[in-house]
Amino acid sequence: MRGALLHTQVAEGTRSLSDFINTAVMAEVQRLEAKYNDGRPFPAVGARGLPQGRPLGR
C-alpha cells in the first residue's frame, strides 16, 4: 500500500496515506451501492451504529 502510494503519488495527485485509503474505500462503497442498492447511497450509520465485539454464534 505504501509502495503504491509512494510510486504514484505525483501522477495520481494523492496527498497522503489517508487520502489514498479513503479513495480506495469509497470505490468499494460505490461498487457495493451499485450491486446491492440500485446505485443509491446506503443510509448513514453513526459511529456506534455497528455491532460491537465478536459476532454471536461463531
Sequence ranges of the domains in the chain: 2-36
Q: What's the pLDDT at 54?
A: 83
| CA 14 to each of CA 20, 40, 52, 57: distance values in angstroms, whole numbers, following the listed order | 6, 26, 32, 41
Q: What's the pLDDT at 53?
A: 85
| pTM value surpassing 0.75 | yes
Question: In the predicted model, is pLDDT for residue 57 greater than 80?
Answer: no
Question: In the predicted model, is pLDDT for residue 47 greater than 90?
Answer: no
Residue found by looking up cell 494523492 in the block: 14
Q: What is the pLDDT of residues 5-44, one digit of tens each?
A: 999 999 999 999 999 999 999 999 999 999 999 999 999 9
